[in-house]
Amino acid sequence: MSWDFALLLFIALLATGLVWLLDIAVLRGRRRARAEAAAQACRNNAAGLDPDALQVECDQAYERAGRPSWWVEYCVSFFPVILFVFVLRSFVVEPFRIPSGSMLPTLENGDLILVNKYEYGIRLPVIDRKIIELGSPKRGDVVVFRYPVDPSVDYIKRVVGEPGDVIEYRGKVLSVNGTPVPRERDGDYYEPDRAVYVGQYREQLGEVSHRILLNVNAPQDLMPITRFPDFRACTYLPDGVRCTVPPGHYFMMGDNRDNSLDSRYWGFVPDRNIVGRAFFIWMNFGSPSRIGGFE
């Protein structure tokens, strides 16, 4: 969806930009010559008019003859705006809307967030090819990416495993490279999507301390929904799953551990699918107090 919008924006930028260049190189000169000819004709055919009236009439003739076509005027007016939006969302920040509760309690359904587009490297828009390396996703980052099963759909999850990591989620305990990720109980959370109270925990993932939702007593059935690339890097067990993250890929999980369709079910996210790091809630129309940063 975001890729489709980027393509449409690029086409609009290209079309308006070509008209803008054509106007500078050719059309303005033609309009000026046409306007000057109209003004001269006005002066030649204005016998009997007093000088002030003649000036007004010839100025009007000049303006009418020099006015650009409506499509040229619109393209020239919109080109700077489209260029600004294109550069901003392609290389700096891009807005996204949270569509579900899979990242509760960190992000709620309806949160409007900003995503940093340059932190993990500069990518060419539309073709999405990285040309400058600036960094890579770190364990604990909240990341927007194109869903590997359907790249036209944008997903948002938290990075749990980096390339080479061994990730285990067994008995609802998350382990990275053989070490359980520390967590402690932090009360209960009312989950509006399911109208239930769920256990809330504070988890320390890498350098990031964040909250997760987890019902340790609820049944768990982790099975792949598709035979994803590098399927053999994962072993599905009666009590969970163990995966070794391939080079150039990441293992993603939602903070709402019992209600998130993530890497446990559809595999790894290749680096080329990464859109950027989510870092700021700029609006939630149902809860304006949520504006601000998050971990």
Supply the pLDDT for residue 54. 79
Residues 234-272: tens digit of each pLDDT: 999 999 999 999 999 999 999 999 999 999 999 999 999
Could you confirm whether 157 is annotated as catalytic?
Answer: yes
Count Cβ neighbours within 10 Å for each residue of 125-134 and write b for 16 or more, e otherwise. beebeeeeee
Cα(188)–Cα(272) distance, integer angstroms: 37
Using the 8-state DSSP alphabet, how is residue 92 labeled? T
Catalytic residue among 90, 100, 117, 157: 157
If pLDDT is split at 50, 70 and 90, which confidence band does 83 have?
A: very high
Count of other CB atoms within 10 angstroms of residue 63: 12
pTM above 0.75, yes or no: yes
Strands 183-191 vs 142-146: parallel, antiparallel or unpaired: unpaired
102 catalytic per annotation: yes
Give me the catalytic one of 102, 117, 260, 263: 102
**Percent over 90 (pLDDT), the chain:** 73
Question: What pLDDT, on a 0 to 100 scale, did the predictor assign at position 185?
Answer: 96
What's residue 16's pLDDT? 96
pLDDT of residue 7: 86
pLDDT of residue 40: 86
Between 6 and 169, residue with greater pLDDT: 169
